[in-house]
Amino acid sequence: MEYRELSVPGAWEITPKQFGDPRGVFLEWFKAEKFEEALGHPLDLQQANCSVSSAGVLRGIHFADTPPGQAKYVTCAKGAVLDVVVDVRVGSPTFGQWDSVLLDDTDRRAIYLGEGLGHAFMALEDDSTVMYLCSTGYSPGREHGIHPLDPEVGIEWPTTARDGSPLAPLLSDKDVAAPSLSEAVASSLLPTLEQVDAHLASLRNR
């Protein structure tokens, strides 16, 4: 299992070792020891989610109030998605920047997004199945979003599906109504780097 930090600090790409034989494939997609070794603190697992999406479905950009925030460890068990992390921490040197990892059922990579980061993904195939481990449970009052097509963020979403067919983004009503990054800043909706760093320090001191 290999960890590679992305260009947005606090987000990591995880590549597992796969063991195949005529029966199929086995892999470890999360290992607590390796996680803590790479990040310096454990993942406090409080909820596990599964979403199934048609090709073109675009979910995000979602984030939670920090503290406690919501860290996510994400993989794609079936199909393929482009998974994106956005730095929404006010005061961060990489504020507003994004990076991505292709999650699919071939390489079976995972992505970890720490507290205070925005998360989004687009399905590249029908029935793409995304599994994610979360550090906190669902709490609608402290969970927010930024419009995933906001030109200020400028995410380069795929226009071609896994089978080569054209791809158009399909958003929920909630994500369509989400504010732009500038609007989120103006309404003090976003976490600050100071808040996130203080929360991460408390995790490391446990």
- For 47-56, what is each residue's pLDDT tens digit? 999 999 999 9
**206 vs 48, more confident:** 48
pLDDT digits (tens, 9 = 90+) for 57-103: 999 999 999 999 999 999 999 999 999 999 999 999 999 999 999 99
Q: Round to whole Å and give the CA distance between 85 and 121.
A: 9
pLDDT at 93 (0 to 100):
97
- Give the burial class of 201: count Cβ atoms within 10 A of its Cβ; 0-12 exposed, 13-18 middle, 19 or more buried: exposed
pLDDT at 205 (0 to 100):
80
- Residues 62, 144, 147, 199: which is the catalytic one? 62
CB 6 within 8 A of CB 112: no
Q: Is the pTM of this model over 0.85?
A: yes
- Residues 73, 112, 119, 132: which is the catalytic one? 132
H helix runs in the chain, sequence order: 32-39, 173-176, 181-186, 193-204
pLDDT digits (tens, 9 = 90+) for 115-173: 999 999 999 999 999 999 999 999 988 999 999 999 999 999 999 999 999 999 999 99
Helix (H) or strand (E) holding 46: none
Q: Which CATH architecture has domain 2-199?
A: Sandwich (2.60)
Q: Round to whole Å and give the CA distance between 36 and 67.
A: 20
Strand partners, 84: 100, 120
Q: Is 96 left (phi over 0), alpha (psi -120 to 50) or beta?
A: left
Task: Give the burial string for 27-49 (b: 16+ CB within 10 Å, else e).
Answer: eebbeeeebeeebebebeeeeee
Q: Round to whole Å and give the CA distance between 110 and 96.
A: 22
Verify cis geometry, omega within 30 degrees of 0, for the bond prior to 61: yes
pLDDT digits (tens, 9 = 90+) for 19-48: 999 999 999 999 999 999 999 999 999 999
pLDDT at 114 (0 to 100):
96
Q: Round to whole Å and give the CA distance between 189 and 40.
A: 28
Q: Round to whole Å and give the CA distance between 180 and 160.
A: 25
Q: What residue ranges do the domains of the chain occupy?
A: 2-199
Residue 62 annotated among the catalytic residues of the structure: yes
Q: Round to whole Å and give the CA distance between 40 and 204.
A: 6
The tokens describing 174, both together, are: 């909630």
pLDDT at 17 (0 to 100):
97
